[in-house]
Amino acid sequence: MYETTYHRASSVDEAATMFTKGSESKYLAGGHTLIPVMKQRLASPSDIIDLGRIKELIGIEASGDAVTVKAATTHCDVATSKTVQTAIPALAYLASLIGDPAVRHRGTIGGSLANNDPAADYPAAVLAMGATIKTNKRSIAADDFFEGLFATALEEGEIITAVSFPVPAKAGYAKFPHPASRFALVGVFVAKTKSGEVRVAVTGASQSGVLRVTAVESALQADWSAAALDDVAISDDGLFNDLHGSSDYRAHLIKVMAQRALAG
């Protein structure tokens, strides 16, 4: 690891101010991506601003038709939250599948979304449920947030403060883990909003990062059942093609995982 200066922020405003002072600042949430990358000397931020202990960034709230998860809430807290388990059990289930216990006790939803790893689990839930990403500057709709591999709509220094999930009428997640990393080789989140709109998002499969699968969405819009997908053809255009999953295998897994997400 290269030398860096660590700062612990006690409020979002303080963190944002600290960020502007460093020549190449980085926010630190759970650190389960940033720290390993720094240890491998692949990242060399001048300053690290730790968001993990900012009280206003931790917690889960349910209000009316939405569940709001604050940005520094850990995967473990989401997975075990009675509020989440009751309102959106698929989201609690998804959080329970992330990484291993060490990752789940440190990693946060805000960190995962800001990083936007193409194989991370949370982006699938956020996109499929049409969640809103709240920052210290604005609110961003899920459809506008994800901009490809490790790229988001966040501006320099902008901090995610919370994610607001509209409670869906139906939702499910199925993940086929990568045999080595246990990230999603393919993960599919299916959701039907209370107004009846079907949204399906896949993570792990595409070279463009998390994306919606319109072929699956239209089939399920007509008939919310696994059988409805039997004859759906998924194109392998633009899908990853690597040691652990060829693009045709991943295309096939999108359908299979969508069917299993419906069952789950």
Binding site for other proteins (CB under 8 A): 1-2, 40-41, 176, 179-181, 243-246, 249, 252-253, 256
The CA-based dihedral angle spanning residues 177, 97, 201, 69, taken in that order and rounded to the nearest 10 degrees: -160
Q: Which is nearer to other proteins, 209 or 245 (CB)?
A: 245
Q: Which is nearer to other proteins, 43 or 256 (CB)?
A: 256
The least CB distance from residue 141 to other proteins, in Å, is 31
Contact by Cβ (8 Å): 189, 172: yes
Q: Which is nearer to other proteins, 70 or 250 (CB)?
A: 250
Q: Which is nearer to other proteins, 224 or 249 (CB)?
A: 249
Contact by Cβ (8 Å): 143, 64: no
Distances (CA, A) of 96 to 5, 51, 77, 121, 163: 33, 22, 9, 10, 18
The least CB distance from residue 140 to other proteins, in Å, is 29
Q: Which is nearer to other proteins, 212 or 252 (CB)?
A: 252
Nearest-angstrom CA–CA distance, 225 and 122: 23
The least CB distance from residue 249 to other proteins, in Å, is 5
The least CB distance from residue 228 to other proteins, in Å, is 16
Question: Exposure of 159 by Cβ count < 10 A (0-12 exposed, 13-18 middle, 19+ buried)?
Answer: buried
The least CB distance from residue 24 to other proteins, in Å, is 17
Q: Which is nearer to other proteins, 117 or 217 (CB)?
A: 117
Sheet strand arrangement including 184-192: 170-177, 184-192, 198-203, 211-212
The least CB distance from residue 259 to other proteins, in Å, is 8
Which pair of tokens denotes residue 233? 């053809």
Q: What are the E-state strand segments in the chain? A: 5-8, 25-28, 47-50, 60-63, 66-70, 132-135, 139-141, 160-166, 170-177, 184-192, 198-203, 211-212
Q: Which is nearer to other proteins, 19 or 240 (CB)?
A: 240
Nearest-angstrom CA–CA distance, 98 and 79: 10
The least CB distance from residue 1 to other proteins, in Å, is 7
Nearest-angstrom CA–CA distance, 166 and 62: 10
Nearest-angstrom CA–CA distance, 127 and 148: 13
Say which amino acid occupies 98. I
